[in-house]
A = this chain, B = another copy of it.
Amino acid sequence: MIKLRIGIIGVGGIAQGRHIPAFLQLRDICEITSLSDVNIDRAKEIAEKYNIPHIFADYRDLFSEVDAVCICTPNKFHAEITVAAFEAGVHVLCEKPMALSAKECEAMIAAAQKADKVLAIAYHYRFMKEAVAAKKAMDEVGTPLVVRVQALRRRKVPGWGVFTNKNLQGGGSLIDYGCHLLDLALWLMGNPKHIAVSGTMYNRLSKIPNQVNQWGSFDHESFNVDDHVTAYLKFENGASVLFETSWAANIKDDQEHLSISGVDGGLSVFPFELYMTKNGMLLNSEATWIPGEENPGLPQAKNFIDACLGLEELVVKPEEALQVSQIIDQIYENGGTTL
Say whether chain A's binding surface is mostly helix, strand, loop, or mixed: strand
Closest Cβ neighbor of A155 among chain B residues: B282
Check: A261 CB closer than 8 A to any chain B CB. yes
Query: Chain A 188-230 against B: per-residue CB contact (8 Å), 1 yes, 0 no?
Result: 0000000010101010110010011010000000000000101
Task: Choose one: B136, B196, B243, B290; the contact of A198 (CB below 8 Å).
Answer: B196
Query: Chain A 268-295 against B: per-residue CB contact (8 Å), 1 yes, 0 no?
Result: 1000111111011111111111110000
Q: How many copies does the complex hold?
A: 6
- Greatest chain B CB density within 10 A among A155, A232, A275 is at A232
> Provided the pairs A141-B250, A198-B234, A202-B146 are in contact, do residues A283 and B285 lie with their beta carbons within 8 angstroms?
yes
CA distance A6 to B281 in the complex (A): 34
User: Does B284 lie within 8 Å of A145, measured CB to CB?
Assistant: no
Task: Determine the interface band of chain A, counting residues with CB < 8 A from chain B.
Answer: 35 or more
Q: What distance in Å separates the Cβ of A279 from its nearest Cβ neighbour in chain B?
A: 4
CB<8 Å pairs between A and B, sample of 27: A133-B279, A136-B279, A145-B339, A146-B202, A146-B230, A146-B249, A154-B282, A155-B277, A200-B234, A202-B238, A212-B280, A212-B282, A232-B242, A238-B339, A242-B243, A249-B261, A250-B261, A250-B263, A251-B261, A251-B275, A252-B259, A272-B281, A274-B283, A274-B285, A282-B288, A282-B289, A285-B285
